[in-house]
A and B are shown apart, each in its own frame.
Chain A
Amino acid sequence: MGKVKCECGHVNPHGTILCESCGRALTEEAKKENLVDMRYEGSARRSQTYNKTIIDKVWNFFSSVKVGIWIIVLILVAASFGTILPQEFYIPSNVEPEVYYEDVYGWFGKIYYMIGFHDLYNSIWFSALIAALGVSLVICSLDRVIPLYRALKTQRVDRHESFMKKQRLFAEQTGSLQEADMEKVRAELKKKHYKIREKNGSLLAEKNRFSRWGPYVNHVGLILFLVGAMLRSVQGMYVDELLWIREGETLQIPGTDGEYYVKNDQFTLENYEEGEDPEVFNEAINRVGTVAKNYQTDAILYHDENNGLPGAKPELSEVKHDDIQVNEPMKFDNFAVYQTSFRQDEMKAMHFALTNKVTGEEFGEVVVDLFDQQEMYDLGNGYKVELLGYYPDFDGFTEEGEPTSKSPLPNKPAFLFNMISPEKPDGEVSFVEIQNTMEPLGETTYKMAFKNLETRDVSALTIRKDLTLPILSIGGIIFMIGVIQGAYWNHRRIWIREKDGSIYTAGHTNKNWHGLKREIHTILEGTAVPEPEDRQTD
């Protein structure tokens, strides 16, 4: 494609609006304008130059900031819809979402569910919007940063007066530059950290050009962040498991391929107590009732030395003790184990005494471990208790009179005992549930008297591995650097030129014009150099 040669001799890329070197307008439109559009220094952007092939068209579409803004706004609006009702992952897990939304929120909930807003952030169209944002970020940045870099690198000190005349801050005055004035101006400029270049009686003072790269740096950070977020779906990058573990239990840690085991030594729930905790909290404790102070699992982490040996039994070696609290996860390898939830006082074992109903005499105690029952409990001297049936979550009887259990969890345990004694060697059958005893096969001499209940807490631990975190962190850091670079500094330039008996001064900044005007004022004060005026007023 043809290059554009400027009168000053510089060869510009095709599509250039203002000569990269001297600043002369190269297009007819630019020649007509009163003020030049300085946003990208009038450089040749691909999107403004080519529009033939399908690639050009896609490029041009996504290179438009207008399109980018539309994508941002669409994401913003879409995201807000997802907060009207709770998302699927925040509703109780024991209810079908289909039923839940309609039950709780009526017709609105039903529609919300039907159009898929209950899982909006995982929907294809929402992901597509995010992807579009990513594409827009890449193309917008590339379309601008390269030509802008070229233009700022090639700019010459003695810009053509037509360029200066079309700057927002500009002044022209007949006369010539006095060396004494220039000395003062140079000193002031240096004090304000400007870099000064001079050539043929022209001066260009420039500072903070790096702030122009801020937007592109932060876009790189964002792209990295989005890439990191995408990598989560790659096998092995991400683990998210929940482990319910009872006090005393040792379980394999899911997600570690059997390499690690954890033991729950003890679970503790502490509340703030009046008298024990600082007095200033009393008022709050009184108003609210109970305020939780600590949830903690005393955990022991084990490594299975036989992991990987097929068929071998696990051989656990202790790695470490750790108190897992909220905000204090246990860490190993790339895993973190978090305190997520708990269930207090799950029934562990029940104690019964085989008792003569008439005399009240006891013939020994039976301890039924609700997780590990025996078929027969031998109490000696001919007394035995046979466990005919165990119903951990007793739910009534079937039509045939069979007891049923609705889950394997010991929420409401019931037992069918056969009590064997010297008098009744065949045994007597008793059906025992909490606070209720039945004798389905006729009245008995003995009963299983409830003595004691052992309980223990169950702790819920979340096991998490996320190898995308380093990428996300780097993305985040780069983004912040870019945003700060672009926001907290301004790229400022001041041109002073003498030509044919006239002095021209002009100034440009990418933002914060008041600051530049004040700075120029102090720099030129007390000299004969004319102070540029703002030609864009309210």
Chain B
Amino acid sequence: MSDLAGLSSTLLYAAFLLYLVATIFFGGSIRQKGLRESEGLNRWGKLAITVTVIGFVAQLGYFFTRWAAAGHAPVSNLFEFTTFFGMMVVGAFILIFFIYKTAVLGLFALPVAIIIIAYASMFPREISPLIPALQSNWLHIHVTTAALGQAILSISFVAGIIYLVKNIDQSISTKKTKWLETVMFFIVTVVGFIIVTTGFALADYSATFEYVNKEEAADVQEYNVPALVGPNEGVLVTDGKMNPLVDMPALINAKKLNTVLWSLGAGIILYLAIRLIARKRVAAIMQPLVRNVSSDLLDEISYRSVLIGFPVFTLGALIFAMIWAQIAWTRFWGWDPKEVWALITFLFYAAFLHLRLSKGWHGEKSAWLAVIGFGIIMFNLVAVNLVIAGLHSYAG
């Protein structure tokens, strides 16, 4: 049993590394001159997609071996779901890649998937048993379809961001360049979060606080990064660790806020470092990479991903969700925050499609919408689970 679990982790590492390698190959493939949409793939491109597919197969291996070890599909906590979502992003990319054969898409889609998987591994990774509410085949059906839908919609974001990197004029500072930099900063901050968390985890940092929780009872909280902000009336119990600069009121989860502060700090430092070294906006650094791709094609990929992803998302995140909610929670709809944000995602992409069809929002406007849509999906994944937390907060 545990051998299987071990094999499973190894396969996940392998997939992670293969995605990194594939990204580099995709980078190589677009550096070659004259790659136009009509010309098909060069050798680097073929190598890149091959490595991607092998990585995807390795991750499928992770998925099924872990399934065998646990006795249920590994989509039951935040680590497993997010990893699966990352895998689906790669899967969706492969699907779209075989329709449009655009190498530059891989150069952006794979890093997004890599960041998502790395982010996932910051959460507890052990195999957890299923609580009663999750003991249903609908767990597999609902969660996998919802994740697949979100992943395909994410490809729309990838195509959209490439469109924006390519088409926004970087020679002057405008509102558009600022917003695009904001998106880049967010991505850098997630990387910052991963670096900080991994760094302190490797150093085995642990500081325990006794504090008074919001039910006014004594409680204990363990910090894995040094406490900038401490819990309500917190007292540091572990010797020789950093004392917080300030204590938070009981209503605020100081541990999570502390992690957010660290990530933002690391993000700012990283971002400024990139800007100082390159003396360019992050988007401007990327711009030469995407010069050769046709904007029209990017626009179509972005739109097509929404067209393919929207029905899958609706089926998984709303319809299957409602069927299961009726069985497990006695009602198909209960305005739980996760449900509401799935509905918001649905409504947003419905608006996207209508704007495109009847208002003619193509190109840049459509690309911005794709970016906002991904923002909503990420909000639902990150903030709704960790901050708002309703019935869906199984992980933590």
Residues of B within 8 A of A75 (CB): 347
Asked whether A287 and B350 contact (CB < 8 A) given A69-B355, A83-B341, A480-B319, the answer is no
A-B CB contacts (within 8 Å), total count: 150
Q: Does A178 touch B at the CB level, under 8 Å?
A: no
Report chain B residues within 8 Å CB of A65: 354, 357-359
The reply to whether the CB of B351 lies closer than 8 angstroms to some CB of chain A is yes
| A511: B residues at CB distance < 8 A | 303, 307
Q: What residues of B have a CB within 8 angstroms of the CB of A464 in the complex?
A: 330-331
B294 beta carbon closer than 8 Å to chain A: yes
Are A326 and B132 closer than 8 Å at their CB atoms? yes
Q: Is A124 an interface residue when CB atoms closer than 8 A count as contact?
A: no
Is A538 interfacial (CB-CB < 8 Å)?
Answer: yes
| Complex alpha-carbon distance, A476 and B323, angstroms | 11
Contact A76 B344 (CB under 8 A): yes
> B27 in the interface, Cβ–Cβ < 8 Å?
no
Query: Is A52 an interface residue when CB atoms closer than 8 A count as contact?
Result: no
Q: Is A310 in contact with chain B by the CB < 8 A criterion?
A: no
A340 contacts partner chain B, Cβ-Cβ < 8 Å: yes
What residue in chain B is nearest A37 (Cβ atoms)? B360
CB within 8 A of B310: which of A84, A339, A483? A483
Residue of B1, B5, B327, B330 contacting most chain A CB atoms (<10 Å): B330
CA distance A326 to B133 in the complex (A): 6
| Chain A CB within 8 A of B98 CB | no
- Count of chain A residues with Cβ under 8 Å from any Cβ of B? 65
Bound complex: CA A292 to CA B394 (Å): 12
Out of A284, A325, A469, A484, name the residue touching B311 (CB < 8 Å): A484
Q: Within 8 Å of chain A (Cβ to Cβ): is B61?
A: no
Q: How far is the CA of A325 from the CA of B327 in the complex (A)?
A: 11
In the bound assembly, the distance between CA atoms of A472 and B336 in angstroms comes to 19
Answer whether residue B388 sits at the interface, using C-beta atoms and an 8 A cutoff: yes
Tell me if A83 and B70 are in contact (CB < 8 A): no
**Residue-wise interface mask of A (236-247) relative to B, using a CB-CB cutoff of 8 A (1 in contact, 0 not):** 000010000000
| B39 contacts partner chain A, Cβ-Cβ < 8 Å | no
Q: When A292-B131, A340-B330 are in contact, do A488 and B308 touch as well, CB less than 8 Å?
A: yes
Which listed residue (A278, A295, A336) contacts B71, Cβ 8 A?
A278
Select one of B126, B132, B300, B336 contacting A325, CB under 8 A.
B132
Is residue B326 within 8 Å, beta carbon to beta carbon, of the partner chain?
A: yes
What is the bound-complex CA distance between A84 and B344, given in angstroms? 14
Q: Is A319 an interface position by the 8 A CB rule?
A: no
A538 cross-chain contacts in B, Cβ below 8 A: 294-296, 363
Task: Judge if B69 is at the interface, Cβ distance under 8 Å.
Answer: yes
Within 8 A of A (CB), among B332-360: 332, 334-337, 340-341, 343-344, 347-348, 350-351, 354-355, 357-359
In the bound complex, residues from chain B placing their C-beta under 8 Å from that of A106 are 251
Q: Which of B263-314 contact A (CB under 8 A)?
A: 294-297, 300, 303-304, 307-308, 310-311, 314
Any chain B CB within 8 A of the CB of A132? no
Q: 1/0 contact trace for A495-531 toward B, CB 8 Å?
A: 0000000000000000111100000000000000000
Residue among B127, B251, B332, B341 making CB contact with A281, cutoff 8 Å: B127
List the A side residues contacting B173 at CB < 8 Å: none
B311 touches A488 (CB 8 A): yes
Contact in complex: B354, A278 (CB < 8 Å): no
List A contacts of B127 (CB < 8 A). Answer: 280-281, 283-284
A199 sits at the interface (CB 8 A):
no
Residues of B within 8 A of A469 (CB): 326, 332
**Chain B contacts for A87, CB-based, 8 A:** 335
> What's the Cα separation between A76 and B319 when bound, in Å?
18
- Bits for A267-292, please: 1 = Cβ < 8 Å to B, else 0: 00000100001111101110110011
Q: Does the CB pair A105–B251 fall under 8 Å?
A: yes
Question: Does B132 contact A284, Cβ atoms closer than 8 Å?
Answer: no
Known: A326-B328, A538-B295. A83 touches B129 (CB 8 A): no
Q: Report Cα–Cα, A272/B310, bound state, in Å.
A: 39
Of all chain B residues, the one with the shortest Cβ separation from A291 is B129
A90 near B390: Cβ-Cβ < 8 Å:
yes
Residues of A within 8 A of B69 (CB): 280
Binding site for B on A (CB under 8 A): 39, 65-66, 68-69, 72-73, 75-76, 79-80, 82-84, 86-87, 89-90, 104-106, 121, 240, 272, 277-281, 283-285, 287-288, 291-295, 325-327, 329, 336, 338-340, 462, 464, 466, 469, 472, 476, 479-480, 483-484, 487-488, 511-514, 537-538
Give 18 A-B contacts (CB < 8 Å), ordered by A residue.
A65-B359, A73-B347, A75-B347, A76-B351, A121-B335, A278-B70, A281-B127, A291-B128, A292-B131, A292-B132, A325-B135, A329-B330, A476-B322, A487-B308, A488-B307, A511-B303, A511-B307, A538-B363
Known contacts A279-B1, A483-B314, then 20 further A-B pairs from the complex at CB < 8 Å, ordered by chain A residue: A39-B357, A39-B358, A68-B354, A69-B351, A75-B347, A76-B347, A76-B348, A80-B340, A82-B340, A89-B335, A90-B390, A104-B251, A326-B135, A327-B135, A462-B330, A464-B331, A476-B322, A512-B303, A514-B297, A538-B363
